[in-house]
Amino acid sequence: MIASYPQARLRRTRATAWSRALHREVLITPADLIWPLFVTEGSGVEQPIASLPGVSRWSVDGIVARAREAVDLGIPCLALFPNTQAERRSDDGREALNPDNLMCRAIKAIRDACGDAIGILTDVALDPYTSHGQDGLVNTAGYVENDATVDVLVGQSLNQAAAGADIIAPSDMMDGRVGAIRDALERDGHANVQIMSYAAKYASAFYGPFRDAVGSRGLLKGDKKTYQMDPGNAEEALREVELDLAEGADSVMVKPGLPYLDIAVRVKEAFGVPVFAYQVSGEYAMIEAAVAAGAGERDALVLETLLAFKRAGCSGVLTYHAAHAARLLGA
């Protein structure tokens, strides 16, 4: 029998800070955070990104400094994204296969500086390397070809793994890419390289600032609706996750974050595997815009939104607020 009022007063346990702390069901800690970083050419370069106030692209030396900062803050993993120079972009995105590309140089530099003190997650998709900004190879009809793209993504993954990536994170939404990448990693001696699949990734309006950051926004014609998921679909997300797990994903991601918390909950309940959420660039920008407009307080907005992911059952969150949040949580 469950008591009712006045024997039950749910405000009793909320009356003091110590009691609220004692009864809190979930916590967010720096160890729950993955910090996405944008890499650019040069040295000593910091380029602020206008649509992501507070976030910059860094040259490799700056990325190494961010990696050391992350280690000090207790952030376990970085996610790297390259801003590829226009002259290195092509229709087929072949720069993704260059063992000396910006991404590979950043991976090696972080590894040299930090050893195994931090994980390096690398995004697999061709959009930072294509002249058209699509994640895959586009045929003459303008359609992104699935199987031909997967062949290139396998090469991109092996290139990243050879440079020292710890977690390969395919964000392209091609069918069958997780299995193909897993097979190739096993064959190539990378049995312990993980795959975190962007399994349920939606064709979202929240990616705009990210496309500025990697330099693909002005290039992209049309949209990504023939491969990223329709925002109306939830059952389909479970099928996407099921397939990626069957193909060898170690963990799965739901993206964007807050607007899709229901998906995170359902995936966790259905499969009981490690689920990560990506609080994407547009979500970050929304919080910063609210702060700038005096509509909310940054620290509180950041910590509340991050806690929500933990409550939904996520193992962790990719967030551009990672360093700020870790500083707040470490204090």
Catalogue the active-site residues. 201, 255
Binder to ligand PBG among 83, 122, 197, 281 (CB under 6 A)?
281
135 forms part of the interface with ligand PBG (CB under 6 A) = yes
Q: Distance between CA 29 and CA 152 in Å, rounded?
A: 37
Helical spans, DSSP H, in the chain: 17-23, 60-73, 102-114, 146-163, 177-187, 208-214, 235-246, 261-271, 281-292, 298-311, 322-330
What's the closest the beta carbon of residue 254 comes to ligand PBG, in angstroms?
13
Preceding peptide of 48 cis, ω within 30°: no
Q: What does R_g of the chain's alpha carbons equal in angstroms?
A: 20
| Integer Cα distance of 251 and 194 in angstroms | 8
Query: Cα dihedral sign for 176, 177, 178, 182?
Result: positive
Give the nearer residue to Mg ion in terms of CB position, either 210 or 227: 227
Q: Which is nearer to ligand PBG, 201 or 310 (CB)?
A: 201
Interface residue with Mg ion among 32, 240, 247, 288 (CB under 5 A) is: 240
CB-neighbour burial class of residue 2 (10 A; exposed 0-12, middle 13-18, buried 19+): exposed
Q: DSSP secondary structure string, 5-23?
A: TTT--TTGGGSSHHHHHHH
Nearest residue (CB) to Mg ion, 123 versus 240: 240
Residue type, 231: P
Dihedral pair phi/psi, residue 283, rounded to 5°: -70, -45
**How far apart, in Å, do the first and last CA atoms of the chain sit?**
42
The piece of 2-10, 177-185, 187-195, 207-215 that touches ligand PBG (CB under 6 A) is: 207-215
Residue 127's binding partner, choosing from ligand PBG, Mg ion, none, with beta-carbon cut-off 5 to 8 A by kind? ligand PBG
Which residue is nearest to ligand PBG, using beta carbons?
210
Instruction: State the minimum distance, in angstroms, from the CB of residue 25 to Mg ion.
Output: 32
Rounded Cα distance between 150 and 137, Å, is 9
Give the one entry of Mg ion, ligand PBG, none that residue 123 binds, where binding means its C-beta sits below a cut-off of 5 to 8 angstroms depending on kind.
ligand PBG
In the complex, least distance from residue 249 CB atom to Mg ion, rounded to whole angstroms? 10
- x/- mask, ligand PBG, residues 282-321, rule CB under 6 A, reads ----------------------------------------
210 binds ligand PBG, rule: CB under 6 A: yes
Rounded to a whole number of angstroms, the minimum distance from the CB of residue 193 to ligand PBG is 19
Which of 67, 118, 150, 280 forms a contact with ligand PBG (CB under 6 A)?
280
How many residues of this chain interact with Mg ion, rule: CB under 5 A? Answer: 1
Q: Assign residue 289 a region: left if phi > 0, alpha if psi is -120 to 50, beta otherwise?
A: alpha
Q: Pick one of Mg ion, ligand PBG, none as the site partner of residue 240 (Cβ within 5 to 8 A by kind).
A: Mg ion
To ligand PBG, the closest distance from the beta carbon of 135 in angstroms equals: 5
DSSP 258: G
Taking the C-alpha atoms of residue 322 and residue 303, their distance in angstroms, rounded to an integer, is 10
Among 59, 130, 157, 171, binds ligand PBG (CB under 6 A): 171
What's the min distance (Å) between Cβ of 278 and ligand PBG? 6
Residues lying near ligand PBG in the complex (CB under 6 A) are found at 123, 125, 127, 135, 171-172, 207, 210-211, 224, 280-281
Question: Residues interacting with Mg ion, by CB under 5 A?
Answer: 240
